Structure 1
Amino acid sequence: MAPRKAPSIRQRRLAGELKRLRVAAHLKQEHVAERTGLDASSIYRIERAMNKPQRRTVLTLLDLYGVTDPDRRATLLDWLKEPGDGQPLWFHRYEVYLPDVMMLFVKLEAEAESLRVYESMLVPGLLQTEEYARAITRSVSGWPPEEIERRVQVRLHRQDVLHRSAPMRFRAVLDEAAIRRVVGGPAVMRAQLEHLATASREPGITVQVMPFSTGEYPAMIGNFVLMDFATPFDRPVVYLESSAGDAFIENEQDVARYAEFFDAISARALRPAASRTLIEEAARALG
C-alpha cells in the first residue's frame, strides 16, 4: 500500500473554507449529507483535509452554501489544482520519508508570506548552517546516517523561501541561550553565529536576542512559529514543536494569543542592531 500523502496547502485551504461556509450556512454535516446525497463521513474527511474532493463535489457544496460570486467560486475550485503541475516541487521527493505533520509544516512554510519565530535553545532552522543543522540532527534523533543527511538536506532546501523572487518576511526572537550553547564544537558554532549575523542584515530578515539579564518573560514555556499567508481566505497558523510531538494551532483566539506573545517578547528583546552586536561578540569569544 502506498503511504498516504500529507495534505497540500491548497487542499488544507479548501477544507478549511468549506467547513467555514457550512457553519456560516447553519448546517451540520448530516444535514449536508441529506441534501446532497454525499456520505457524512466523506464530508467529515473533506473538511479535515483527509480526502481531496472531486470538482463536482465542490460545486455541489458551493451551491448548497449559497456561494454565487464567480471569483470566489473560481478561487476555491483552483485550490483543487496543485501548483507546478508536471513540475514537482522540491519537497515531493521527501514526502514518503517525512512524518505527515512535518510534511505539512514544510508545505505551509513554502507558501507562507511571513514567519514570526521564537526559539529558546537553537538557531531557527531557516538560518542554520549545514554543519550546525547536521550536529543538531545527529544529537537529538538517533537516526541512521542516511536519514540524518536526508533531514539536513530538507532543512537546507527550506531556506530557499528567504531567497525567492518575493522573499518571505522573517522575524525571529532568540533567547540568549541559543547563541551561547556551543553546538558542534567551537568552529561550527562560530561559523553559525557569523552566518546568523550576516543573515540579520538582509532585507526582510529581523533577528532579536532576549538577553539573560531580562529575567523571566512571556513564552518561555516553549518554541513556536507563527505563519501568515497572502491569500485572504487562509488564516494564520501556529506550529508548535516539542519532544512530545508537533502540533498546529488554528483557532483564531489561540493564534491571536501567540501573536501577542511574540509582540511582547519582541518589545523586551534587544533591538536588531544591538542583537547583531551581541551575536558577533559571542562569535569572537569562540576564538
Structure 2
Amino acid sequence: MPRPSGPPTVRLRLLAAELQELRSAARLTREQVEEQAGVNQGTLWRIEKAQAKPHNGTLEALFELYGVPAERRTELLELAQAAKTPGWSHTGPQQVHDAGYAAYVAFESQAKAMHNYESIYVPGLLQTEEYARASMVDGPPMERAVIDARVRIRTERQAVLSRQGDGVEPLQFWAVMDEALLHREVGDRSVLRRQLQKLIDEADRPNVTLQVIPFSKGAYPWMNGGFVRFVFGSAAPDLIYEERLGGSVFMEREEEVDRYGFVFDQLRARALSPRDTIAFIAKLMTS
C-alpha cells in the first residue's frame, strides 16, 4: 500500500473522507470490512486517514461492499489516480451531494478553525434556516428536493460550532463580512432582521468572531470575492476554498495558502472590531 511522500494532497484527503463516509453509511466497522472484503483493518485506517493511497483492487472491493453506484465508482477511481496532483476543482450541476459540496462539508468537520470572508451572503454556518432557503430559492436553479436537502444539511453543519466530546473542541470560526450583505434582503425584510439577530446571538459564543467592513471604509482589495481557509493545525496542511461561477476550487500550495492568509489579515485589519461590529449590526436593526 503506497504511502504519500510528504503531506497528503487535497485529493487524497477528499478520497479518504469519502470512503469513511461510505463505510459509515453502510454501518460497518473496520473489523466487519476486513471480514467481508478482506481489507486489513490497519490498511483501512491508513486509507481513511489519508496516510496511504489505495490500490484499485482495494477500492473495488470496498465499493462492492458499500454498494457504491457505478458512476460514483468512476469518479472516486479518477480521484485516486490523480491523488498526487495538488489542488482540486469541481464543475457541474449542483446536486445534494455533488463532489465539491461533499468535500467542503468533510473538511469543515475536520478543521480546527475556519477563516471566512463573504461579500454576498451571510456565512453558511451563521445562517438561519429561512435565510438559507431563500438564498437557494433565489439562486441558481435547483430542484425543490435538492433545496430541502441542502437546507437541512446546512443547518446540521452548524453543529461544529458547539461540538463537544473526548478531545473534540468547537470549531474556531472567524468571519469578516462586507456591510452590503447586512442590507441585502434575502427573502424579505423580516427574514433579514431575524438573520441579523442570529449574527448577534452567535457572536456570544467564545469560539465565534465576527467583523464587518463598513461602507465608510471605501473600496478595498478582494471586495467582491469570498473564500474560506480551513485550518487543521498539526494534523494536516491548511486548505483554501473558493466558490466561483464555473465551480468550486480547493488550493493547497503553500504560496497560495499564504497569499490568502495575507489577504484575510488585511481584511480584518480594515474591518470594525468585533465589539464595534455587534453594535453596528444592532444599530442596523433599529434603523
TM-score of the pair, normalised by structure 1:
0.68
Aligned residue-pair number: 216
For 2:136 and 2:232, the matched residues in 1 are separated by 29
Alpha-carbon distance, 1:110 to partner: 0.5
- Using the alignment, how far apart are the partners of 1:21 and 1:193 within structure 2? 40
Contact kept, 8 Å, 1:173 with 1:208, in 2: the verdict is yes
Unaligned runs of 5+ in 1: 1-13, 23-43, 53-74, 83-94
Q: Tell me what 2:4 maps to.
A: 18
**Counterpart amino acid of 2:266?**
A
Displacement, 1:50?
5.8
The corresponding residue for 1:58 is none
Report SS of the residue matched to 1:80: helix
Q: Percent identity?
A: 36
Relative distance call for 1:114 and 1:263 in structure 2 (3 A) is same
1:283 CA displacement = 2.0
Asked if structure 2 preserves the Cα contact closer than 8 Å seen for 1:130 and 1:156, the reply is: yes
Listed one character per residue, the Cα deviations across residues 214-263 of structure 1 (whole Å, up to 9, x for unaligned) are: 11222224100000013x25100000012221100101011001001011
Q: How much has 1:21 moved relative to structure 2?
A: 7.3
Structure 1's consecutive aligned runs of 4 or more residues displaced over 2 angstroms after TM superposition are: 19-22, 46-52, 75-82
One-letter code aligned to 1:255: V
Letter in 1 for 2:6: R
**In structure 1, how many angstroms separate the alpha carbons of the residues matched to 2:114 and 2:228?**
7
Query: Unpaired segments of 5 or more residues in structure 2?
Result: 18-41, 50-71, 73-94
What is the alpha-carbon distance in structure 2 between the residues aligned to residue 181 and residue 196 of structure 1? Answer: 15
Q: How does 1:135-146 map to 2 (within 5 A)?
A: 135-146=134-145
One of 160, 167, 171 as aligned partner of 1:168: 171
- 8 Å CA contact 2:232–2:238 kept in 1: the answer is yes
What is the alpha-carbon root mean square deviation over aligned residues? 3.0
> What amino acid does structure 2 have at the position aligned with 1:178?
L
Query: Which of the pair has more CA radius of gyration?
Result: 1
Distance 1:47 1:105 in 2: 14
| Residue type of the alignment partner of 2:114 | L
Residue from 10, 24, 46 that aligns with 1:79: 46
Counterpart among 268, 271, 274 of residue 272 in structure 1? 274
1:223-238 mapped onto 2 (5 Å cutoff): 223-230=226-233, 232-238=234-240
TM-score, normalization: structure 2? 0.68
- Residue 118, structure 1, aligned to residue 117, structure 2: yes
- The amino acid of 1:251's aligned partner reads R
SS in structure 1 of the partner of residue 247 of structure 2: coil
